[in-house]
Amino acid sequence: MSDVVAIKDQVEAAVRAALSQVLPAELAGTDPVVRRSDRADFQANGTLAVAKKAARSPRDIGADVAGRLTGLTAEVSGPGFLNITVPDDVVWSAVAARLADTRLGLTTPSTGERVVVDYSAPNVAKEMHVGHLRSSVIGDALVRVLEHLGADVTRQNHIGDWGTQFGMLIQYLDEHPDVSWKGRGAETMSALDGLYKAARAEFEADPAFADRSRARVVALQAGDAATLDVWRDLVAESEKAFEVIYDRLGILLDGDDFDGESRYNDALPGIVEELLRTGIATESDGAVVTFTDGVTGPEGEPVPLIVRKKDGGFGYAATDLATIRLRVDHYQADRILYVVDARQALHFRMVFDTARRAGWLPDTVQTEHVPFGTVLGTDGRPFKTRSGKTVRLADLLDDAEAAIRTVLEAKEHDFADAELDDVVHAAGIAAIKYADLSNTRTKDYVFDVEQMVATTGNTGVYLQYAHARVRSILRKARTEATPGDSVDATLPAHPTEKALALTLDAFEAALRDVADTLEPHRLCGYLYDVATAFTRFYDACPVRKADDDTVRANRLALCDLTGQTLATGLDLLGIRAPERM
Ligand code: ARG
């Protein structure tokens, strides 16, 4: 493993150092604000903001800084920013250094950071819906990126595996011993979902059944063996079904990651007791609640967080408080992420606030709700099937795969059936995941299969094509004479070569940006930039037919690094990059 210092970081350090020499001591360390630029390789405009404080003209400071930058060409421009050009050999050397490293020269800035990511969290005996899809896809991308940057990540799938609804379902199953629901893989969930609905209908229609269901809840909570057995079956079968979906979607979550609500049962009475004892919670109308400063309803009335309900049952809030304690004390988390839809923002705000005040959440630990918007249908309304049911994940994937199969089959190809199936699967998942990840996380987005499988524009399938195109160039080049794979750093770089190389050099910055903001669309945007920069380069610079072997070798190196960057980036989004498309 050999870390490479990104060129932008080198430029930034150089300008920062020069700026410190030029400015009065108290302004040392001023951010030089270095950005990529159209007019040169980089632009630094930190001179503008600091000029006033230094009581000098920005142009004057700029000229002074430019004079001190060694190894870079810098010119003062406009009101006083700097246009900075990096020598070609620095650029080629970076390409070579990244290629020589299996990690493409990326550093691991998050080493030592412990992160717990709570994501997916579907409910036992219920079909996963598109909201769970979003949580799964976003959470998984975050897990992958954070891990790639060196963090020690614990995945937790906080499934809804406890609650009074189980009384009803177990009672129903008991009274209908003939219904079959087990061992049907992903179909188990549809069967259970149907049973759940039938049980609810009966519960509402038949007061006697409702009473027997309530008695079942008591039996479940009291640990009645027969009741617990059925409950365990329900959980186990649901987990199996979830795993089938995760496997199909290429989501990392597996059997070890389940961290259901039931795990926290025993901790709940203690949570309530301690909150009451410390005066953080109060009793209100028989319930135990906490309040958070500034959280008020439409009439300005304080909104309670219900920790224990009037009937003595514990709510979702109590369980989430318990998750924090375990994640802090046992997992020693530095950062805890909850990838849950935006409608639960208030819940998390109040839970985090309560935990802080209770002393369960030290200042050194950061809890973050990672909210996301709603998936909409093409009619702009929350996504439902035509009959108004929630859409099944498996069906979405089937639709995407069917659409991409049509696209692929319309093109000329020489795929054997098995390879075509594999590519269809990879592209179907790319279509769905990328559509989700490439949108600003907090915004709603429209689920539009035709748009998702488009082979042009900012789609996952387009990036897979871009990757496959690069791989094809490399394959062909390698069968030809003297492939040559060593970079000659003394060669001049064509502007499109340089632009591509500098884009590739910014990979780590893009990943860090995702780790900081928890917004995977930034990585999507970056990979799209890479693909675009590659296309410009490839349009301007012949690769296999380059006039000169050294030029050809340098260009092949650029292709290689592009291909590897795209493949790694897609992998961090949970998307495969097939060799051929
Ligand atoms: N099971 C819940 C749902 O389906 C989501 C749970 C999210 N995670 C959490 N720690 N609250 O809405």
Domain interval for residue 491:
88-112+395-581
Nearest residue (CA) to ligand 1, atom 6:
121
Residue finishing a domain among 221, 251, 281: 251
Q: What is the pLDDT of residues 544-575, one digit of tens each?
A: 999 899 999 999 999 999 999 999 999 999 99
Q: How is residue 271 written in tokens?
A: 């949570």
Q: Compute, in angstroms, the gap from residue 388 CA to the centroid of ligand 1.
A: 23
Residues 558, 418: one domain? Answer: yes
Q: How far is the CA of 425 from the centre of ligand 1 (A)?
A: 29
From 259, 242, 243, 253, select the one nearest 137 (Cα to Cα): 253
546 and 530 both lie in a single domain: yes
pLDDT tens-digit map of 295-309 = 998 999 999 999 999
Give the number of the atom of ligand 1 that is nearest the alpha carbon of residue 159: 1
Q: Do 446 and 497 share a domain, yes or no? A: yes
Confidence grade of residue 311 (pLDDT, cut at 50, 70, 90): confident
Residues 6+ apart with CB under 8 A from 491: 88, 92, 550, 551, 554
Question: How many angstroms separate the CA atoms of 534 and 552, rounded?
Answer: 15
Give the CA count within 13 Å in the CB-facing half-sphere of 97. Answer: 18
Best mutation site among 344, 372, 390, 393 for ligand 1, i.e. most ligand atoms within 8 A of its Cβ? 344
Question: What spacing in Å lies between the alpha carbon of 142 and ligand 1's midpoint?
Answer: 17
Residue 257 within a domain = no
Establish if 447 belongs to a structural domain.
yes
Cα 173 to middle of ligand 1, angstroms? 25
225 domain-assigned: yes
Name the domain count of the chain.
Answer: 4
Label residue 108 by pLDDT band (50, 70, 90): very high
Return the closest-CA partner of residue 260 out of 163, 144, 175.
163
pLDDT of residue 129: 84
CATH number of the domain enclosing 302: 3.40.50.620
Residues 564 and 424 in one domain: yes
The 10s digit of each residue's pLDDT in 407-452 is 888 888 888 989 999 999 999 999 999 999 999 999 999 988 889 9
Residue 205 shares a structural domain with residue 59: no
Evaluate if residue 467 carries a pLDDT over 80: yes
Domain boundary among 220, 251, 282: 251
pLDDT single digits (tens) 330-384: 999 999 999 999 999 999 999 999 999 999 999 999 999 999 999 998 888 888 8
What's the gap in Å between 275 CA and the centre of ligand 1?
22
The pTM (predicted TM-score) of the whole model is 0.95
Residues 334 and 413 in one domain: no
Contact status, residue 394 vs residue 186, Cβ threshold 8 Å: yes
Same domain, 230 and 293: no
Test site for ligand 1: of 258, 338, 352, most ligand atoms within 8 A of the Cβ: 338
Distance 214 CA to ligand 1 centre (A): 24
Q: Are 559 and 470 in contact (CB under 8 A)?
A: yes
Q: What is the DSSP string of 74-128?
A: EEEETTTEEEEE--HHHHHHHHHHHHTSTTTT---TTTT-EEEEE----BTTS--
Question: What backbone phi and psi angles, to 5 degrees, belong to 23?
Answer: -90, 160
Please list the residues that pair with 446 across neighbouring strands: 376
Whether 384 is covered by a domain: the verdict is no
Q: Running DSSP on this structure, what letter comes out for residue 282? A: E
177, 230 contact by CB (below 8 A)? no
Atom of ligand 1 nearest to the CA of 316: 11
How many CB atoms neighbour CB 183 within 10 A? 10
**Cα-to-centroid distance, 265 and ligand 1 (Å):** 16
Residues 82 and 93 in one domain: no
**475 torsion bin: left (phi>0), alpha (psi -120 to 50), beta (else):** alpha
Q: Are residues 302 and 403 in the same domain?
A: no
243 and 343, same structural domain?
Answer: no
Using CA atoms, how far residue 441 sits from 340, 485, 522, in Å, is 11, 40, 10
Q: Find, among 432, 426, 433, the residue nearest to 464 by Cα.
A: 426
In what helix (H) or strand (E) does residue 308 lie, and over which residues does it extend?
strand 302-308
Backbone φ and ψ of 124, nearest 5°:
-60, 140
| Rounded distance from Cα 160 to ligand 1 centre (Å) | 7
The answer to whether residue 419 sits within a structural domain is yes
Q: Look at residue 2 and tell me if it is in a domain.
A: no
Q: Which of 123, 133, 158 to mutate to test the pocket of ligand 1 (most atoms within 8 A of CB)?
A: 158
Residues near ligand 1 with C-beta < 6 Å?
118, 121, 123, 158, 160, 320, 323, 338, 340
User: Any idea which residue has 């064509």 for tokens?
Assistant: 494
- Whether residues 81 and 141 fall in one domain: no
Closest protein CA for atom 2 of ligand 1? 121
Helix (H) / strand (E) element for 347: namely helix 345-357
Question: Ligand 1 mean position to 18 CA, how many Å?
Answer: 51
Query: Ligand 1: which of 157, 340, 347 to mutate, most ligand atoms within 8 Å of CB?
Result: 340
Structure confidence by residue, pLDDT tens digits, 232-241 = 999 999 999 9
DSSP H or E run through 408: helix 393-410
